Amino acid sequence: MLDDFLILIGRFHPLIVHLPIGFIVLGILIELNKKKLGWSNEALKFIFFWASITGVFSIISGFFQYQNGGYLWETVQNHFIAGVLTIILSFSFYLKLIENSIFKPIPRKLFTIANSFILIVTGHLGGNITHGEEHLVEPINNLVGINGEKTLTVKYYEDFEEKPLFSSLIRPIIDEKCVRCHNSKKSNGKLKMHNSVELMKGGKNGSIINYDTPEMSEMYIRIHLPKEEKKHMPPKSGKQLTRQEISLISKWIENGSSFEKSIKDFKLEENIINYFFDTEKPFFPLIEASVPDNESIRKIRKNKITINPIYKNSNFLKVSSINNLDFKNDDISLLSDINENVVSLDLSDSKITDSIFSQLKYFTNLTVLKLNNTTITGKKINQLVELKNLKRIYLVNTNFKDEYINIFTQFKNLQKVYLYNEKDNFQNLDRHTKFDNKIFEFGYYSLED
Amino acid sequence: MNKKIKLFNEFLLKNASANSRRHFLKNCTLGMGGIALSNFLTACNSENNLLKNNSSLNPLAPSSPPNLGKVKSVIYLHMVGAPSQLELFDNKPELHKLHNKPCPESLLKGKKFAFIEGVPKMLGPQAEFKKAGDSGNWVSNNLPYFQKIIDEVSFLKAVHTDQFNHGPAQLFMHTGSPRLGRPSIGSWATYGLGSDNQDLPGFMVLTSGGGTPDGGKSLWGSGFLPSVYQGVQCRSKGDPVLYLNDPKGISRDLKRDLINSINEINSDEYKNYKDPEILTRISQYEMAYRMQIAVPEVMNINDEPDHIKEMYGVTPGDESFANNCLLARKMVSKGVRFVQLYDWGWDSHGDNEENGLMHGFKRKCQQIDRPIAALILDLKQRGLLDETLVVWGGEFGRTPMQENRSGVQNAYTGRDHHGDAFTMWMAGGGIKKGAVHGETDEFGYKPVSGRVSVHDIQATILHLLGFDHEKFTYDFQGRPFRLTDVEGEIIREILA
């Protein structure tokens, strides 16, 4: 009962502190303008008296907050000292104002400066506790454009197999979803999780890992409780673990909560691996392309050619003539400045012919090429053999000739070539036995057996 | 009368204030500062370039998603009325054994149904099931052609929704909220990605089956997004888009001049008020002008080769699901972002012949079976399946009990609405081939594993288009809104 009452008072600390802050700021403002205001002294006495009284209340409520909020003394220590100093200064100034002899020799200016300074320090230290030490640095960085965010790196499973599961996967999850409330400053349930030693120490109910019956581990139970349950972790208000993260942590605990065992040893299921890793090399080239310059983009767009990055922050571009069906072979020169940026090029339905290939061979990073519904016959398509990244070629409803189909076998990384033709051009070809059907798509499906 | 005058005066005042000296001082000083600041800021940011800031005045200009998406387009096949999973995909032999027996108490406790009252009888599967394809996944004899594409598909067998009436459930499925006012998923997609083909709308809607969805046009509405992103409904019979043709005596040139003048005035207006709805109006005039030629072209299936027409089973000139499937393929190959098909008539209560699982329902299955198989194969042979997502489903599923409206057995066999567990499937770019996620209990009543929500499905669709559903927001009434509200998890189990 009393405990709850004290907790309640503690919770009000962030509110109560603003009373002395208000008084002191008001006091300082009046003090600075005292020449203008004839009446200042009486008011200041009143103000700094109340600043001291409310200050004492702030300190008391802050103490309860510290006791019940799961904070460590090291964290709140400086804030506490600064707070006490603030009150002492306010009260000393009050004493000087009522002409106490001890404070007479100290100049008033000094009080003003000291009061302002200590107020800022106390406030800032308090902010650090509630919002984290970075709470000012972060927005400032963002303002001036320093990007603190980690860039997303591609993680291949193969590179990770041998690394410990804990440090590569579990630790980052705990850092993201648990450490906010379980760290050296704020240890809810007396549990700290910011490093492995603390993690193993456990919380107020002892170890959170049970090596004998892993499923009875406090950590295991809590992440599995329904979200509505009070003891569910992370609490309903916090950022939740995903299904896959829960399975992964469970797997780690079930298999003995080892910090050393490698990822391979856990024999993770495929869907879990896919969730945390890339298992395939990416579709588009893995190199950095230079930033395409604005002038060429403007020029290209003026010609009604659609051009956009493959995703927002990529320098790789997809280009399409979908809105300019009069596109001719010569128009490809518009793209000459950005050759290496184009990874996907769609010239379907346009007026291009086979001579386009002599131009296309300069698009070194070209990965997807669409030439559907054009008069392409395939003559000179061998010029594209040099394009190491070319993976998909679309030649649906073209005049592609049988004799050139074999050229595609020389393409290094070709995954698919679409040769379907509504007129069934290749009826004489032994389509399904002569060609690798994984790569060659002739279509012409029928629903009759 | 008084009110109208007041309103008019307010308009005059607004207009005047927009052009006054005071307006200049009040708004533009800040504006100038802002302009200076923004120049200063962009100068600091070497990253700034045309490709990243789509400064185009055209709200439908194609743009890029934040992440590398797997698909460019979506074809969403919605079976209006909620098809029975127990006669199509969810094979429950145990349910046979309980056929005609009273429903166990445990299934009814604390449950509320749309029509079932008292203790209904259990209803065994009204179809034969068999394993098909290399994947060996289950499908009923109601869908013989589906067997041919079953290996292209990932099933979700334990989808759940918390709505059990058609309208709200449809709204929930398409807008993420059972109440009116939210943008549909197609609107979100076009808002985020624009429209590749500038002569066609980015979001097109086709209906079949003789009825419109209970949720009404809000299912493809743009909610609080600018209305340029709403779905454009096309008819496969008669004029594809109503009121698109020029009146007699108006030439296309005259129309062009007219639109140019109107757009000029509208752009001035936009400069003054910066209201996105003005941009909407401009691009709608433009779009309508171009659509006059482009839409009849894309909506014409007569010129398709015979083998294609046969494969889908189309009858040109009709309003049929088959026609719509073929149209969907045509639209997607012309760069339409989101094609939404609604097929009406799946509400198999068994209260009349049309609704009976052994009658009307079987006819519905025949109407969709061949066209869907044809659509998948046609997309595949054109290389479109790799970059298109096909989604199939209803607004909920149906009960393993036979419906007994007002406590009396219905005249035909039928099932009531059921949202706890039903089947949907996806196929196409980024989707695993032949996978099954989720499982229901022995009656197909409750999920046993792999339960996914409506928001999970939406999150997955957005993910495949290249969006993080948690970050894809629009500010409205002072707070950012998401399609998935505060829920939703990507269903990774069915991703390739």
Helix, coil or strand: residue B405: strand
Nearest CA in chain B to A152: B67
- A 369-388 → B contacts, CB under 8 A: 370, 372
Residue of A nearest to B308 (CA): A422
pLDDT at B310: 94
Q: Give the span between the Cα atoms of B215 and B78, in whole angstroms.
A: 12
A35 interfacial to chain B (CB closer than 8 Å): no
B486 touches chain A (CB under 8 A): no
Closest to B65 (Cβ–Cβ): which among A292, A306, A311? Answer: A311
Out of B64, B67, B199, name the one closest to residue A308 (CB): B64
**B99-124 burial string, b = 16+ CB within 10 Å, else e?**
eeeebeeebbeeeebbbbeeebebbb
End-to-end Cα distance, chain B? 64
DSSP letter (8 states) at residue B106: H
Q: The pTM is what? A: 0.70
CATH number attached to the domain at B73-240+305-494: 3.40.720.10
CA distance B8 to A427: 71
* Residues of A whose CB is below 8 A from B286: none
Interval B154-203: pLDDT, tens: 999 999 999 989 999 999 999 999 999 999 999 999 999 999 998 899 99
SS3 per residue for B289-330: HHHHHHHHHHCCCCCCCHHHHHHHCCCCCCCCHHHHHHHHHH
A205 CA to centre of own chain: 34
Residue ranges of A 62-101 with Cβ closer than 8 A to chain B: none
**Structure token pair of residue A156:** 């291949």
For residue A309, give the nearest of B51, B377, B495 by CB distance: B51
Contact B466 A311 (CB under 8 A): yes
DSSP string of B327-390, one letter each residue? HHHHHHHTT-SEEEEEEE------SSGGG-TTTHHHHHHHHHHHHHHHHHHHHHHTT-GGGEEE
Radius of gyration in angstroms for the set of CA atoms belonging to chain B, rounded to a whole number: 25
Tell me the β-bridge partners of B473: B482
The amino acid sitting at B272 is N
Question: Chain-wide mean pLDDT for chain B?
Answer: 88
B376: confidence class by pLDDT, cuts 50, 70, 90: very high
Specify the DSSP class assigned to residue A181. Answer: T
Interior/surface letters B158-171, b for 16+ CB within 10 angstroms, e for the rest: bbbbebbebbbbbb
pLDDT of residue B99: 95
Taking only the tens place, the pLDDT of each residue in B425-434 is 999 999 999 9
- Map residue A418 onto helix, strand or coil: strand
Best interface-test mutation with B: which of A320, A431, A447 has the largest number of B CBs within 10 A?
A447
B388-398 average pLDDT score:
97
**Over 70: is that where the pLDDT of B124 sits?**
yes
DSSP type of residue A383: G
Hey, which residues does B130 pair with through a beta bridge? B139
Once rounded to an integer, what is the mean pLDDT over residues A308-321? 92
**Residue B32: what pLDDT?**
47
**DSSP bridge pairs for A317:** A309, A342
Q: Tokens 């042979």, residue? A: B381
Which pLDDT belongs to residue B9?
A: 65
| Closest C-alpha to A157, from A166, A172, A168, A149 | A168
pLDDT at A151 over 50: no
Q: Please give the residue that has the higher pLDDT: either A449 or A147.
A: A449
Query: A141: burial class by Cβ within 10 Å (0-12, 13-18, 19+)?
Result: middle
Does A294-441 carry CATH code 3.80.10.10? yes
Please tell me which residue, A421 or A277, carries the higher pLDDT value: A421
Task: Give the nearest partner residue to A322 out of B51, B197, B495, using CB atoms.
Answer: B197
Q: Do B381 and A392 touch (CB under 8 A)?
A: no
Write down the pLDDT at residue B2.
62
Q: Is the pLDDT of residue A445 over 50?
A: yes
Residue B468 contacts residue B67 (beta carbons within 8 Å): yes
pLDDT at A65: 82
Q: State how beta strands B137-140 and B422-428 pair.
A: unpaired
Rounded CA gap, A34 and A21, in Å? 20
User: Are A299 and A323 in contact, with CB atoms under 8 Å apart?
Assistant: no
| Confidence label for A134 from pLDDT (cuts 50, 70 and 90) | low
Instruction: Give the pLDDT of residue B31.
Output: 43
Least confident segment among A231-245, B18-32, B447-461: B18-32
For A21, how many CA atoms within 13 A lie in the half-sphere containing its CB? Answer: 16
Q: Across the A/B interface, how many CB contacts are shorter than 8 Å? A: 105
Give how far Cα B228 sits from Cα of A444, B265, B279, B286, B481, Å: 38, 19, 8, 12, 18
Q: Is the dihedral of CA A367, B338, A280, B484 positive or negative?
A: positive
Q: Which contiguous run of DSSP H or E holds residue A44?
A: helix A40-68
Burial of B362 (0-12, 13-18, 19+ CB in 10 A): middle
- pLDDT band at residue A282 using 50, 70 and 90 as cut-offs: confident
Give me the torsion for CA of A321, A324, A328, A333, rounded to 10°: -60
Q: How far apart are CA A312 and CA A314, in angstroms?
A: 6
What burial class does residue A278 get, using C-beta atoms within 10 Å of its C-beta: 0-12 exposed, 13-18 middle, 19+ buried?
middle
Tell me how far CA of residue A198 lies from CA of A166, A187, A206, A207, A411, in angstroms: 15, 11, 11, 10, 56
Residue A414, pLDDT above cutoff 70? yes
Average pLDDT (A365-382) is 95
Among A62-66, B204-208, B438-442, the range scoring the smallest mean pLDDT is A62-66
Handedness of CA A10, A11, A13, A15 (dihedral sign): negative
The DSSP call for residue B481 is E
Contact B64 A292 (CB under 8 A): no
Which of chain B's residues have a Cβ under 8 Å away from the Cβ of A447? Answer: 145, 148, 311, 370, 373-374, 377
> Is the per-residue pLDDT at B25 higher than 70?
no
Pair A214, A254: CB distance under 8 Å:
yes
Domain ranges of chain B: 22-55+245-298, 73-240+305-494
Range A441-448 average pLDDT: 90
Chain B residue nearest residue A397, CA to CA: B382
Residues B197, A308: C-beta atoms closer than 8 Å: no
Q: Is A159 exposed, middle or buried (0-12, 13-18, 19+ CB in 10 A)?
A: exposed
A233 and B CB contact within 8 Å:
no
Q: Is A363 helix (H, G, I), strand (E, B) or coil?
A: coil
Question: B38-52 burial, b for 16+ CB within 10 Å, e for fewer?
Answer: eeeeeeeeeeeebbb
Nearest CA to B106 among B441, B338, B378, B449?
B441
Phi, psi of A33 (to 5 degrees): -105, 20
- Distance CA(A366)–CA(A394), nearest Å, equals 13
Closest Cα in chain A to B437: A271
**Across A369-398, average pLDDT:** 95
Copy the structure tokens of residue B196: 């590749």
Six-digit token string for A404: 């050139």
A388-413: average pLDDT: 92
User: Could you give the CA distance from residue A410 to residue B66 in angstroms, rounded to a whole number?
Assistant: 35
Nearest one of A259, A223, A256, A252 to A240, comparing CA atoms: A223
Taking the C-alpha atoms of residue A250 and residue A248, their distance in angstroms, rounded to an integer, is 5
* CB within 8 Å: B64 and A311: yes
CA separation (Å) from A332 to A323, A351, A387? 15, 12, 17
Instruction: Report, in angstroms and rounded to the nearest whole number, the Rg of chain A calculated over CA atoms.
Output: 35
**Which DSSP category does B248 fall into?**
T
- B275: confidence class by pLDDT, cuts 50, 70, 90: confident
Distance CA A279, CA A159 (A): 10
Enumerate the residues of chain A whose CB falls inside 8 A of the CB of residue B378. 445
Residue with tokens 């009709």: B318
Asked if A285 reaches chain B (Cβ–Cβ under 8 Å), the answer is no
Distance, CA of B18 to CA of B12 (rounded, Å): 10
B145/A396 Cβ within 8 A: no
Question: Taking the mean position of all CA atoms in its chain, how far away is CA B268?
Answer: 35
Instruction: List the single range of A136-150, A191-205, A290-304 with lowest mean pLDDT.
Output: A136-150
pLDDT at B72 (0 to 100): 96
Domain segments of chain A: what residues?
2-144, 157-276, 294-441
User: Residue A238 is which amino acid?
Assistant: G
- Residue type (1 letter), A408: F
CA distance B103 to B119: 6
Q: B23 at the A interface (CB within 8 A)?
A: no
Residue A53 is predicted with a pLDDT of 93
A443 in contact with B at a CB cutoff of 8 Å?
Answer: yes
> Does A25 contact B at CB distance below 8 Å?
no
Determine the Cα–Cα distance for residues B297 and B200; give it in Å rounded to an integer. 10
